[in-house]
A and B are shown apart, each in its own frame.
Chain A
Amino acid sequence: MITITSGKGGVGKTTATANLGAALAAEGRKVCCIDGDIGLRNLDVVLGLENRIVYDIVDVVEGRCKLRQAMIRDKRLPELYLIPAAQTRDKSALSPSDMIRLTDELRGEVDYIVIDSPAGIERGFRNAIAPADEVVIITNPEVSAVRDADRIIGLIEAEQKGPAKLVINRLNAAMVKRGDMLAPEDVLELLAIELIGLVPEDENVIVSSNSGSPIVLDPKSRAGQAFRNIARRLMGEDVPFLDLDADGGLLNRLSRLMGRGG
């Protein structure tokens, strides 16, 4: 049971949820993605399943349908399911204990449950992390996103859900090289948690989100490869990090060039 969260909006939680879910399913694991963003549902769109929604998570919790009826099966990846959020309700339609009850029912049926958390630190966030066994924090190499990630890590530690794992999304190696973007080292120095993924910035991610086809299904995409690697790390494999810089050694070379962002 993995919850994907970030604090700040727009850093790529939903994209990461869709892609990690799809990558785990492509590895043959049975996966159910849950959209925790009630009122602002997106995960169905990114997965290309919007037009197949009949029941949503609030219907399950309020007893209007069975859990299985709300699970939408992805046609491309038969092991991938989605439980969509309700669009016409808000976060208070669910409580943390509703989420725990619902996911406990799912646990026996699937190998992985991946929950997409809404932005923020309020009810929706608490609903999303209440059932989590593992929490993955998505951040961008930007001071504001890192600040919010730090706050979220503190909250997760307080809930004793830690230690959270970190994915740095939208890394632009050329900008890091010029000193215009925080380097992974700078982010890690502040957040001090385990890094499990570096995802390069890639225009194709936007194209694939718009077309409802996760980028991990594109064997040529570097971002897709990065997400596939993260999925394998979540499965316990030891996968080396992608070399995001054509010249090599991004991780080693750049930290000394960088002042601390502030």
Chain B
Amino acid sequence: MPPTVQIKGIREGLLVTLGEGPWSEVQAALLAEIAEKASFFNGARLVLDVQNHILNAATLGKLRDLLADYNLSLWAVLSHSPTTEQTAQTLGLATRIHQGRADDAPASSDPETEGAEAVLVRRTLRSGSRVEYPGHVTIIGDVNPGAEIIASGDVVVWGRLRGLVHAGAEGDPEAVVCALDLSPTQLRIGEHISLAPPSRKTPRPEMAFIREGQVVAEPWSLPGQE
């Protein structure tokens, strides 16, 4: 039996939910469906729910180009896999739609909670890329101006942080942001917003948090050396 392809009209366009199976067959089933109903699909904005498929950038980029051949624009990819969400975000695709998914319950925003989810991103985030995660976010690499990190927990950047960062994005004032060079264009923690401090000649590791209703940044030092 070929993999299932479910289509549903939503406010943002067409929501296409893909079933289980090897990706090549799933993709073939999707394209066959589109070819069959070409006039129905023509010009549509597509939201693809890929469920549990784990897709890399080349695979997803290829599918997007194939869809372009049918005059379809892929604008969002929904997935259960953080890897696929990352891929979609790198390609500039949305990973959330208005209604959200039923099972998209936010992870606990309490950073102390045992088992709070975290994601590790091991590359430089360039302008236009966005990491949004219902948990903690760790970046190994730089965060360039124009890139965004939105985390409901803490954010740690092992590199230069020069983009926009929002920790505790679901309203947690206890969240912190750490970076080797903390020079974000804008830093938000919970409801608080602060602008970039003037950049220093010699950057040093710092941690930003809320103290008495203000965002403050303190240089990081080894415990016991303060």
Name A's B-contacting residues (CB within 8 A).
Answer: 92, 95-97, 121, 123, 126, 130, 147-148, 150-151, 153-155, 157-160, 190, 192, 259-260, 262
Among B127, B162, B199, the residue within 8 A (CB) of A154 is B127
Interface residues on B, range: 20 to 34
A134, B146: Cα distance in complex, Å: 25
Please determine whether A151 and B127 come into contact, CB atoms closer than 8 angstroms: yes
A156 (CB) vs chain B CBs: closest residue? B126
18 A–B contact pairs at CB < 8 A?
A: A95-B68, A96-B65, A96-B68, A97-B66, A150-B126, A150-B127, A151-B126, A154-B125, A154-B129, A155-B128, A158-B90, A158-B92, A159-B61, A160-B58, A190-B145, A192-B142, A260-B199, A262-B185
- Which residues of chain A are within 8 angstroms of B127 by Cβ–Cβ distance? 147-148, 150-151, 154
Among B68, B124, B128, B129, the residue within 8 A (CB) of A126 is B68
Please determine whether A92 and B71 come into contact, CB atoms closer than 8 angstroms: yes
Among B57, B142, B145, B199, the residue within 8 A (CB) of A158 is B57
B203 (CB) vs chain A CBs: closest residue? A260
Query: Which chain B residues numbered 112 to 163 have a C-beta less than 8 Å away from chain A?
Result: 123-129, 142, 144-146, 162
- List 20 additional A-B contacts (Cβ < 8 Å) besides A121-B92, A147-B146, A158-B61: A92-B71, A97-B65, A126-B65, A147-B127, A148-B127, A150-B144, A151-B126, A151-B127, A151-B128, A151-B146, A154-B127, A154-B129, A155-B91, A155-B92, A158-B87, A159-B58, A160-B61, A190-B144, A262-B183, A262-B199
A56, B74: Cα distance in complex, Å: 28
A95, B123: Cα distance in complex, Å: 30
B69 on the interface (CB 8 Å rule)?
Answer: yes
- Which residues of chain B are within 8 angstroms of A148 by Cβ–Cβ distance? 127
- Which residues of chain A are within 8 angstroms of B87 by Cβ–Cβ distance? 158
Interchain nearest-CB distance for A246 vs B (Å)? 29
A261, B127: Cα distance in complex, Å: 15
- Which residues of chain B are within 8 angstroms of A147 by Cβ–Cβ distance? 127, 145-146
Task: Please provide the 7 A-B residue pairs with the shortest distance between their CB atoms, ordered closest to farther.
Answer: A154-B126, A151-B128, A158-B90, A150-B127, A151-B127, A96-B65, A158-B57
- Which residues of chain B are within 8 angstroms of A153 by Cβ–Cβ distance? 126
A147, B146: Cα distance in complex, Å: 7
- Which residues of chain B are within 8 angstroms of A154 by Cβ–Cβ distance? 90, 125-129
Among A97, A160, A192, the residue within 8 A (CB) of B69 is A97
A260, B90: Cα distance in complex, Å: 26
- Which residues of chain A are within 8 angstroms of B68 by Cβ–Cβ distance? 95-96, 123, 126
- Which residues of chain A are within 8 angstroms of B145 by Cβ–Cβ distance? 147, 150, 190, 262
Tell which of B58, B66, B126 has the most Cβ of chain A within 10 Å. Answer: B126
